[in-house]
Structure 1
Amino acid sequence: MSADEGPRSTATGPRLDSPGRIHRRKALTRDDMLRAALRIVDAEGVEALSMRRLGKALDRDPMRLYRHAPSKDALLDGIVELVLSELRVSTMHDGNWEATLRATAHAFRAIAVAHPNVVPLLVTRPLAAPLALRPRGTLRLLEDLLELLVGAGFDPDGALHAYRLYFGFLQGHILNELQERVHDPDETDDLLRLGLHHLPPREFARLRSLASALASYDGARELDEGLDIVLGGLRGQLASAA
């Protein structure tokens, strides 16, 4: 290679900066790999992710990636762990467990809105293995919420019931909100914005008539309205137990 050809690299080997000098690349970490995988999923969807595609994005031999994720299932679990690591359950202040659950719900919603292509993984990946065999990072939220609820005065069984009710509502809300994303945000007519004009008027008259209400959907406000009901019910259960 002549001196003016510049540095050269390969996907698997070191880079030659100049004759006789070898620049070794930084070792690939699991976190580097997972963040690159998340970028692919965010941009192109889960279907676009493969070890070959990820290797190309990282400029690495795909076979080397298996050191950090022995299968695509493990890679998907790692993405879920990475995304959930952004979520922290706040410490309960002044005994206000309801405010903590409300803040956690909004934080979860913010993560889901930022990574909509990951939401199906957040809902379905926990189903792929028994509870105790799931990646530790996916269980941290459950442990933290149970600790919060027991600290609020629920007995352990009651805390588990409260978690199921709370988190089931939260997941359902997120899935529903993402389903109602605007089809064409630049269109001024609500029917066209949502793509409802494709539906036969005689078969879907009621749905088409709700175009304005659907187009004005406010996910954060709807979340708070649902939390009012869920937290009110849990408050009543806690008072009855006391």
Structure 2
Amino acid sequence: MINTPTEPIGTAQSDERLTKNIIRKKALELADEEGIENLSIRKLAKALNKTPMALYRHYGSIDEIKQAVFALAFEEVDADPILGERWDETLRRTMTSIRQVHLNHAHAHLHLVQAPAWSPALIRHTERIQKLHHDQGMPEDVLTRVWRIVDAFLTGFNANEGMQIEGHYDSDPENRPSWFETAEKAYSDQAFQDGIDIIIAGIRNLAAPDPCNWHTPDN
């Protein structure tokens, strides 16, 4: 009897040429289904019908892939310049769009990725937003303070809203304290817009006596 060599389960290769973009797109799909914290090289390789080694030729680790997934999701942010748009309108638009990205990928738990502004996950996004406000003429010292305030607000809001969506804050309906409804609605559309309004008002105060007539050039 002739023994025919068999390939180990999970190592059959598809004919599709593997690229970084193919890997990160599939990784985002899996993250949307199972959460980015459950993403692994082995699971991703199986989903792509490739070997783990094939993925390692493009990414050095699962952490690099998670950074790439975050960056891919943030390509959805509406950060293109709009002629004549005022800085406060730009801020409202981009902040709302960033929140929407997290809502679009709520089950991916993107907030679990360690992604400061200078990380591979966010550097392109950071450069886009910085350029928007630089081109509008926002003074550097004001932009520095704006960035810190907005980043802190969005980081906290998106993470907590995500946990609320996943039901991590469920409580016993019969034993809820009197303030529960107020706290429960801390992560709502109204609360988000209120937060933006407060930030914009604070920026005007920080920049005073500058009239804050910053806007994207008309041409």
The answer to whether TM tops 0.5 is: yes
Offset from partner CA, 1:55-106 (integer Å, 9 cap, x none) = 1111111110111111112111111111111113131442411111101111
Supply the distance in 2 between the matched residues of 1:221 and 1:125 (Cα, whole angstroms): 27
Name the residue aligned to 2:170. Answer: 195
Name the residue aligned to 2:217. Answer: none
Query: Any residues of structure 2 matched to 1:39-188 within 5 Å, and which?
Result: 39-116=29-106, 117-122=108-113, 124-126=114-116, 131=118, 134-135=119-120, 138-181=122-165, 183=167
Within the alignment, does 1:227 sit opposite 2:218 as a pair?
Answer: no
Name the residue aligned to 1:237. Answer: 206
| Amino acid corresponding to residue 238 of structure 1 in structure 2 | A
Supply the distance in 1 between the matched residues of 2:22 and 2:104 (Cα, whole angstroms): 19
Query: Larger relative contact order (C-alpha < 8 A, sep ≥ 6)?
Result: 2
Q: Mind listing any 5+ residue stretches in structure 1 that lack a counterpart?
A: 1-9, 15-24, 185-193, 202-206
Give the superposed CA RMSD.
2.8
State the secondary structure of the residue aligned to 1:240.
Answer: coil
Preserved CA contact (<8 Å) 1:182 1:215 = no
| Amino acid corresponding to residue 195 of structure 1 in structure 2 | D
State the secondary structure of the residue aligned to 1:75.
Answer: helix
Supply the distance in 1 between the matched residues of 2:144 and 2:21 (Cα, whole angstroms): 31
| Amino acid corresponding to residue 170 of structure 2 in structure 1 | G
Supply the distance in 2 between the matched residues of 1:78 and 1:13 (Cα, whole angstroms): 23
Offset from partner CA, 1:190-228 (integer Å, 9 cap, x none) = xxxx631189x5xxxxx5323444555662221110000
Supply the distance in 2 between the matched residues of 1:156 and 1:79 (Cα, whole angstroms): 30
Larger radius of gyration: 1
- Given the two structures, how large is their TM-score scaled by the length of structure 1? 0.72
Q: 1:170 to 1:216 in 2, by over 3 A?
A: closer
Aligned length, in residue pairs: 202
Supply the distance in 2 between the matched residues of 1:238 and 1:144 (Cα, whole angstroms): 22
Supply the distance in 2 between the matched residues of 1:91 and 1:221 (Cα, whole angstroms): 26
Supply the distance in 1 between the matched residues of 2:93 and 2:85 (Cα, whole angstroms): 14
Q: Percent identity?
A: 26
